[in-house]
Structure 1
Amino acid sequence: MVTERGLQVLRAIVQDYVDTHEPVGSKSIVERHAFGVSAATIRNDMALLEDEDLIAAPHTSSGRVPTDKGYRVFVDHLAELRPLSTAQRSAISTFLGDPSDLDDLLVRTVRLLTQLTGQVALVQYPSFASANVTHVELVALDAARMIVIMVTDTGRVSQRLTVRPAGLQDEDVAVLRAQLSALVTGRSVRIGSERIEALRAAAAAGRSPLDEALLALASVVGEELDEFRQDRLVMAGAATLAKREHDFRGSIHPLLEAIEEQVTLLRLMSEMAADEHGLSASIGRENDAFGLTEASIIASDYEAGVGRARVGLMGPTRMDYPSNLAAARAVARYLTRLLEEDENHR
């Protein structure tokens, strides 16, 4: 059982180790923190923390560093998050203000978070399976190319460059637009996708050129609807891993692979348990099943009309948890507000 002062000593060790990247000794704790007790008393507290596997000595006759378990206890006992500065809050409102669409907003979000924290930033796309398609447009660019555009009631916009069906006249484009709109507009992404599949399955032999064109474009629409339904991540800041490689005990290659593949990070972020404030953290060996024992991932939930998704950060276990959690939470709250305002204006 860790005493209240023991938790305060653990907090001091975590904070000092994050600040200095040097093992922390009892003398430095007494000098830097107002505990009002002797170095010998602090050494006794540290011995108890070591018995609980919350701190460890990286080598003989050194100070102590937090273990993964120690970071977990530290995060679980955070009394408050470090408040963002006025400049940081201003940066959030300025950088995320007036996005062109959801894709633009989420790209801006990860870039901002990386700048604020120096960590790899991750943002989950919300699930759009229940979103409704509000508009389908076909734009003929020339004799060989056209763009298929779709918009949902959540503000998601898809623009797909595709081949213009052979022999398709300009007057045929309006006919096909009306047919595709009748299939999916006003329906959920999931239902629209099912109706496209049903159209393709019912296609009969001996079709006219216009029917062939409809099927070809319907396939494009169906692929885009499937994209809407898939879980995706937007990421930024992978280069920060190389800059901070000395903060990792081992290789950063598993982290780079996870960034490239996305599937692992999507699973991990989806399975992390959130507290009553929508904040979550998965630290070091807690990520063993995902091959990411060298990393910590923290996240904050945001609301996106059709559901909940997460804003997160990935970095070494030696990270500034109070500041990073505060940044993720502030950005998540701003995202929620922007998406709610956009929903109200539609």
Structure 2
Amino acid sequence: MPSERRLQVLSAIVTDYVRTREPVGSRALTERYRLGVSPATIRNDMAALEDEGYIYQPHTSAGRVPTQKGYRLFVDEVARVKPLSAPEREAMTALLAGAVDLDQVVVRTVRVLAQLTGQLAVVEYPSLRRTALRHLELVALGPTRLLMVIVTDTGRVEQRTVTLAGPGPQVVGALDPLVLERLRLRLNAALVGRRAQEVVPVLTHLAEQAPDDERALLAAVIGELVAALRPDAEERLAVAGTANLARSTPDFSSLGPLLDAIEEQVVLLRLLSPETDAPAGDGDPTGMRVSIGSENHDDVLAEASVVTAGYGVGQGQVLARLGVIGPTRMDYPATMTVVRAVARYLSRFMAGPAG
């Protein structure tokens, strides 16, 4: 671990390079930062940091540039998450004010992240399998089709079309309005407040006890409901700020493959998984993580950094994650501040007025 003074030198190099995109020399550090030591001492510290792999010289007679190892040390030991500035807080409040449902707040949140960080922003919708059922609605669409609307305690709404197999007296009876209403009431009474892992046993019991005129309909509904809650069910993402990433072209040797990977969204879902991120520090209830370069475990992300945080409805209860993607030459303290603040705001929204 470098000394405190060398950490200050590294911090100055990172700060200057993020701001200028130019290699940083000892003269620039002496002129711009009050490090309290002579230029010769700064040059010695820079040489030591270079020997330890925290900075490097891109070409002869140039200043120094942080390495991935240098950024990692900066994030772990120097960067500090601070409260939002007054303008940032006002901008976030203005953009998020008036959101009344989950879709609105997620769309506005991803715009806030992109605007305040200047990076590509991603917000994951709360997974159906991590939330509890608030309401289940069944609406007949025809003789053999109905619409199932799943509403969770986080405000997420999922719609599924249920199709019964083949025509026949049993199907016609199953879609009788009285039978449909009776089944809806029975399902809500049994499932409301239950989480995904609790649903299947309850549905199995209901199927065993169902009267004959509900069996075909109940079997079809169970099939779609279980499919919606299965662990590998499709997750939903909101993305904004692709143009921000495009403006970072000088920081990437090739931006095309990265944009292609992001468009597929599989890469984004994996990045939002807490298991794939490197820790930014302990004690943050949002579980904020920062992964830099090769820590992303994907060649197309080797020149990118990802800052993510979780949000939920209670202390330590993470329902989904949000974050930003940008170049490794990122303003880490400012980005971490915004990501954490937005995650906390979204958590408060999820918790509701009493949260």
Taking structure 2 as the reference length, what is the TM-score of the superposition? 0.81
Number of the residue aligned with 1:50: 50
Paired residue for 1:322?
A: 333
Q: Which amino acid aligns with 2:342?
A: V
1:296 has 2:305 as partner:
yes
Which range moved further: 222-231 or 296-305? 222-231
| Match of residue 226 from structure 2 | 222
Distance 1:91 1:173 in 2: 47
Q: Which residue of 1 aligns with 2:111?
A: 111
Q: Determine the C-alpha separation between the residues in 1 that align with 2:107 and 2:325.
A: 16
| 1:102 Cα offset (Å) | 2.8
Structure 1 distance, partners of 2:229, 2:283, is 33
| Kept in 2: contact 1:255–1:292 (CA 8 A) | no
Q: Are 1:187 and 2:191 matched, yes or no?
A: no
Shift of 1:233: 4.4
User: Could you tell me how far 1:150 is from its partner in structure 2?
Assistant: 2.1
Residue in 2 aligned with 1:21?
Answer: 21
**In structure 2, distance between residues paired with 1:123 and 1:164:** 35
The answer to whether structure 1 residue 284 and structure 2 residue 288 are counterparts is no
| TM-score of the two chains, using structure 1 as the length reference | 0.83
Distance 2:191 2:176 in 1: 23
- Structure 1 window deviating more from structure 2 (305-314 vs 25-34): it is 305-314
RMSD over aligned Cα, in angstroms? 3.4
Query: What is the one-letter code of the residue matched to 1:322?
Result: P
Q: Is the 8 A contact 2:109 2:123 kept in 1?
A: yes
The reply on whether 1:243 has 2:244 as its aligned counterpart is no
- CA apart distance, 1:310: 3.1
- The answer on whether the counterparts of 1:264 and 1:290 sit within 8 Å (CA) in structure 2 is no
Distance 1:171 1:326 in 2: 54
Is 2:307 the counterpart of 1:307? no
Following superposition, the deviation at residue 260 of structure 1 comes to: 1.6
Say whether the 8 Å CA contact 1:56–1:64 is kept in structure 2: yes
Q: Which amino acid aligns with 1:244?
A: S
Partner of 2:63, secondary structure, is: coil
Determine helix, strand or coil for the equivalent of 2:301.
coil
Count residues with an aligned counterpart: 341
Matches within 5 A, 1:42-81: 42-78=42-78, 80-81=80-81
Partner of 2:34: 34
Give the Cα separation in 1 of the matches to 2:60 and 2:209. 75
| Identity over aligned pairs, percent | 45
Superposed CA deviations along residues 217-275 of structure 1, whole A, max 9, x for unmatched, are 33233333337977654433334322212212445514641552425643663123352
Are 1:254 and 1:291, in contact at CA under 8 Å, matched by a contact in 2? yes
Please tell me whether the aligned partners of residues 7 and 78 of structure 2 are also in contact (alpha carbons under 8 angstroms).
no
* Structure 2 residues without counterparts, runs of 5 or longer: none
SS class of match (2:24): coil
